[in-house]
Amino acid sequence: MSCLQTIQDYALRSIGIGERLLPRTDFTLCEQVTLIGSGMIWNIYFGLIAIALGFFAATGMALAKNSQNKWLQKPAEFFIYVFRGSPLFIQMFFAYAVFVVLKQNMPFFAPFTSAWLGATLVLFLNTTAYTAEIFYGALQSIPKGDLEAADAYGITGRPRFTRIVWPSMLRLAWPAYTNEAIFLFHATALVFFSGFPVWGQRGDALYYASYFADKTFNPFVPYPILAGFFILLTLVVITIFGQIGKHLNRHLPQAAIRRPNFLRTIMR
Amino acid sequence: MFSYCTDPSTLEGLTWLSCYLTTGKHMGFYLSFVTVIVLLLITAPVALLFGFAGASAARSRFLPLSLLGKTYTAIVRGVPDIAFFMFFVIALDQAFEYLRHKVKCPDWSEPVRQGNDFVVCAQAKLPLSTSPQWVHETYGFALAVLTFSIVFGAFAANVLYGAMRAVPRAQLETAEAYGMSTRQTFWRILVPQMWIYALPGLSNLWMILVKATPLLFLLGVEDIVYWARELGGTKTARFSDYPHGNWHAIYFFGLLVFYLMLTSVSERIFKRITRRLSHGQATAAGEAQRKAVQ
């Protein structure tokens, strides 16, 4: 079977399109690369949805934690504490167990027991907590002068937030937020190992990598392929976030902005 | 455990619970919390050692060594840690068996990799198939510790590398002016001073390490996640003296609380250590302490 044929059969296998049976014997390199790459669709799906929704939720959560109102501040603090203080792995197991119990009484919760919704929800809440903490730190370190200048110009209320506070917060938080995005993508590899079942062998990249490692008893091929895909994904994230970061900093003297160093940007 | 536990089907309420929570399996569950703590206590210093070696290598003037140190940190960071855990456990096991195979059975003619099998001679198996159960379990645990140390060593290497560069140049120049050799400067000036710069990163790393311990489950160790899944599942009266429904949610809630406590306590301890280490340092926190005393 040619490699082109393999790609046609398996490139979309992880979402149920193409050949139903996975290869069982005589695994070629092409099959491994194609299937693990196909699994990346899930990782990208989880990551994109969680980051896109988490960004807005985290802005709200950071504002709540920063607010003077106790009724907003305390719950936000507690939410952030719970999700940052416990392992994502346990959160996944716990959420799945809760959804299973809820499903028995309310059929509405049935879709939550599958990964596409349940795991996305957990990842979304998790990244909201971590991002909110980053944004909160940034809110606290907005230069006093900026706010005083806004007051002097009579900018108050909504415009004060959208034109002064929010852009400054994003600018300050951006490098740390880039890290959070990278680690969220890494965390998506946990999903199918933490309770959420894999239907019809439609799993993520790590699921297929461990499938091959189990079958061939040779970890030295599938895991480096997986690593290659993830490093590629990390580079894409760094590039996109770097562009956005540049856009956020465009009004500043350009010499002051250091280009993010790849090694240092992968830091957690 | 208690004398009234002989016939659990007659029990109710608190007495039932007290018997249920003291079954042999639950004792295994409680013991697995100790496993997690032991893993943390062994892994943290070993990872720090790996990190120190990695950071020293990355600082080296000898190019291959410095490249080795930098690649080690870069690769481990670019890839999800879970993938590393799953890789290293098989890879290390095979590497050890392969080395023992080469030493113990030099006249073995067949290849080690035969299609989808990994075949070594019986004497090279690790642990030997004749060894008792506890040796197998300890070996599995030791592999897990080594895997954790390798992965977290890379993270620690990055933190320590940064800390070594954060020590003010003037300190090192002064040491050189006093005629200290490179080695003396490193051990007597750089190393004692770098910890305060490394501490924020290391405390962060400890938190990540704590939150990575449930992954032990994936490495085949009977840890708290294993037991929570085992004990929380639905038990019918046919197979268990203590039938109950699906209690996974309750058990995992317990684990969640355990981890929240562990991270809160760690946070408090790190705050205390930071205060200690800031004492007498040329940093803002050290300066604030000095002023407070006056």
What's the pLDDT score for residue A255? 54
Per-residue pLDDT at B87 exceeds 80: yes
**How many structural domains does chain B have?**
1
Percent over 90 (pLDDT), chain A: 52
| Nearest chain A residue (CA) to B249 | A97
A49 and A120 Cβ atoms separated by less than 8 Å: yes
Instruction: State the Cα–Cα distance between residues A128 and A134, nearest whole angstrom.
Output: 10
Instruction: State the Cα–Cα distance between residues B66 and B56, nearest whole angstrom.
Output: 8
Q: What is the DSSP secondary-structure string of A207-245?
A: HHHHHHHHHHS-TTTHHHHHHHHHHHHHHHHHHHHHHHH
Strands of chain B, DSSP E = 113-114, 117-118
Q: What is the pLDDT of residues B226-253, one digit of tens each?
A: 888 888 888 877 777 788 888 889 999 9
Chain B residues near residue A87 by CB distance under 8 angstroms: 210-214, 259
Q: Does domain A41-265 sit in CATH 1.10.3720.10? A: yes
Q: What is the pLDDT of residues A3-44, one digit of tens each?
A: 888 888 888 888 888 888 888 877 888 889 999 999 999 999
In a domain, B185, yes or no: yes
CA of B2: how far to CAs of A256, B237, B247, in Å?
A: 71, 21, 23
- Please state, as a whole number, how many other Cβ atoms lie within 10 Å of the Cβ of residue A236: 12
**Shortest Cα distance, chain A CAs vs residue B183, angstroms:** 27
Rounded (to 5) percent helix, strand, coil in chain A: 80, 0, 20
In a domain, B44, yes or no: yes
| Nearest chain B residue (CA) to A94 | B252
Q: Which of A33, A34, A29, A32 is nearest to A9 (CA)?
A: A34
Per-residue pLDDT at A262 exceeds 50: no
Instruction: State the Cα–Cα distance between residues A105 and A103, nearest whole angstrom.
Output: 5
pTM of the predicted model as reported, rounded to 2 decimal places: 0.87
Cross-chain CB nearest to A266 (options B77, B218, B260): B77
Percent over 90 (pLDDT), chain B: 15
Instruction: State the Cα–Cα distance between residues B235 and B240, nearest whole angstrom.
Output: 6
B58 and B161 Cβ atoms separated by less than 8 Å: yes
CB proximity A87 to B under 8 Å: yes
Chain B residues near residue A93 by CB distance under 8 angstroms: 225, 228-229, 248, 252, 255
**Shortest Cα distance, chain A CAs vs residue B118, angstroms:** 7
Are the Cβ atoms of A217 and B70 closer than 8 angstroms? no
Q: Which of residues 106-135 of A touch B (CB under 8 A)?
A: none
Q: Domain of B73? A: 31-223
- Cβ–Cβ pairs < 8 A, chains A and B: 125
Q: What is the pLDDT of residues B7-19, one digit of tens each?
A: 777 777 778 888 8
CB proximity B191 to A under 8 Å: no
Q: Which of B197, B155, B58, B77 is nearest to A262 (CA)?
A: B77
What's the pLDDT score for residue A266? 41
**Shortest Cα distance, chain B CAs vs residue A63, angstroms:** 24
CA of A120: how far to CAs of A29, A99, A109, B234, in Å?
A: 31, 13, 14, 26
If phi over 0 gives left and psi between -120 and 50 gives alpha, with beta otherwise, what is residue B290? alpha
CB proximity A97 to B under 8 Å: yes
Are the Cβ atoms of B225 and A89 closer than 8 angstroms? yes
Pick from A36-50, A169-183, A204-218, B17-31 the range whose average pLDDT is largest. Answer: A36-50
Instruction: State the Cα–Cα distance between residues B220 and B234, nearest whole angstrom.
Output: 22
Pick from A41-55, A94-108, B63-77, B106-120 the range whose average pLDDT is largest. Answer: A41-55
Chain B residues near residue A91 by CB distance under 8 angstroms: 256
Chain B residues near residue A193 by CB distance under 8 angstroms: 82, 218
Interface mutation target, options A24, A84, A92, A93, chain B, most CBs of B under 10 Å = A93
Confidence of residue A258 (pLDDT cuts 50, 70, 90): low
The sign of the torsion formed by the CA atoms of B278, B283, B287, B288 equals negative
Q: What is the pLDDT of residues B179-227, one digit of tens each?
A: 999 889 989 988 888 888 888 888 888 988 999 898 888 887 888 888 8
CB proximity A69 to B under 8 Å: no
- B15: three-class secondary structure by DSSP: helix
Are the Cβ atoms of B264 and A85 closer than 8 angstroms? yes
What's the pLDDT score for residue A41? 93
**Shortest Cα distance, chain B CAs vs residue A168, angstroms:** 25
Instruction: State the Cα–Cα distance between residues A189 and A191, nearest whole angstrom.
Output: 6
Instruction: State the Cα–Cα distance between residues B272 and B289, nearest whole angstrom.
Output: 13
- Please state, as a whole number, how many other Cβ atoms lie within 10 Å of the Cβ of residue A193: 20
In a domain, B183, yes or no: yes
| Mean pLDDT confidence for A83-103 | 92
Which CATH number is B170's domain given?
A: 1.10.3720.10
What's the pLDDT score for residue A53? 96
A169 and A147 Cβ atoms separated by less than 8 Å: no
Range with lowest mean pLDDT among A50-59, A209-218, B105-114: B105-114
Q: What is the pLDDT of residues A110-139, one digit of tens each?
A: 888 888 999 999 999 999 999 999 999 999
In this structure, chain A runs to a length of 268
Q: Pairing mode, if any, of strands B113-114 and B117-118? A: antiparallel
What's the pLDDT score for residue A264? 43
A212 and A225 Cβ atoms separated by less than 8 Å: no
Instruction: State the Cα–Cα distance between residues A84 and A88, nearest whole angstrom.
Output: 9
Interface mutation target, options B32, B39, B70, B86, chain A, most CBs of A under 10 Å = B86
Range with lowest mean pLDDT among A207-211, A228-232, B42-46, B285-289: B285-289
Chain A residues near residue B260 by CB distance under 8 angstroms: 81-82, 85-86
Per-residue pLDDT at A241 exceeds 80: yes
Q: Which of A32, A13, A49 is nearest to A199 (CA)?
A: A13
Per-residue pLDDT at B128 exceeds 60: yes
What's the pLDDT score for residue B256? 94
What's the pLDDT score for residue A254? 67
| Mean pLDDT confidence for B145-162 | 88
What burial class does residue B205 get, using C-beta atoms within 10 Å of its C-beta: 0-12 exposed, 13-18 middle, 19+ buried?
A: buried
CB proximity B63 to A under 8 Å: no
User: Higher pLDDT residue, B15 or B173?
Assistant: B173
Q: Which of residues 220-239 of A touch B (CB under 8 A)?
A: 220, 223, 226-227, 230-231, 234
Per-residue pLDDT at A267 exceeds 50: no
Chain B residues near residue A126 by CB distance under 8 angstroms: none
In a domain, B50, yes or no: yes
What's the pLDDT score for residue A268? 36
What's the pLDDT score for residue A14? 85
- Please state, as a whole number, how many other Cβ atoms lie within 10 Å of the Cβ of residue B112: 16
Instruction: State the Cα–Cα distance between residues B115 and B124, nearest whole angstrom.
Output: 20
CB proximity A101 to B under 8 Å: yes
**φ, ψ (nearest 5 deg) of residue A24:** -115, -35
Are the Cβ atoms of A215 and B116 closer than 8 angstroms? yes
CB proximity B91 to A under 8 Å: yes
**ipTM, two decimals:** 0.85
